[in-house]
Amino acid sequence: MSVLPILIFPDTRLKEKSAPVSEFTPEVAALIADLQDTMHASAGGVGISAPQVGFPKRIIVVDVSAHRRGSQEHNHGFLVLINPEILARGGRQIVREGCMSIPDYTANIERAQWVLVDALDRTGKQVILESIGFEAVAIQHEMDHLDGILFLDRVISIKTDIFRRKKYR
């Protein structure tokens, strides 16, 4: 399909709450394909949400399998999650996060170590999946975008937990 331009902070559209997907139209299928292409074309990208490319719909794609942190643990490969909800979460970890919409910074963020997610797949079929580690972090990060939350909103200490990115890879 095509690689879409990514909205960059402080674009106000990144702070909007996204609407649920109610119909699985050819346009939704095309958007999912574009999200996949956009994520794979972005250096280091392991996930992207529809709001990051200007479509305020509750759709995320995640694939940590090619990333060094994701390849070292169990993951589900390429995921399309539509209208995702976290049913349960557990554990606690501090992780360094970055974002394609905030390319110049990373930050230490507290996230759950595992999540249980209820969502629809690209065909509208319900999926319930348990995710751990880096994949769970990526899912939580992308789900935040659906509610207009950026990783900077989750920083505990601006003085000690935000870092200028040396290079984006």
pLDDT of residue 70: 61
**Domains of the chain with bracketed CATH:** 12-164 (3.90.45.10)
CA distance 119 to 76: 14
pLDDT value, residue 72: 63
- Res 166: pLDDT: 77
- pTM for the whole structure: 0.94
Q: What is the pLDDT of residue 43?
A: 80
Closest by Cα among 11, 19, 10 to 146: 19
Q: Looking at residue 158, what is its pLDDT?
A: 85
pLDDT, residue 135, reads 96
Per-residue pLDDT of the chain (169 residues; tens, 9 = 90+): 799 999 999 999 999 999 999 999 999 999 999 999 999 998 878 999 999 999 999 999 999 987 666 666 788 899 999 999 999 999 999 999 999 999 999 999 999 999 999 999 999 999 999 999 999 999 999 999 999 999 999 998 888 999 998 765 5
Annotation says 130 is catalytic? no
Q: What is the pLDDT of residue 34?
A: 97
Question: What pLDDT is attached to residue 44?
Answer: 78
Sheet holding 162-164, edge to edge: 93-99, 102-111, 162-164
- Among 23, 73, 85, 142, the active-site one is 142
- Whether omega before 26 lies within 30 degrees of 0, making that bond cis, reads no
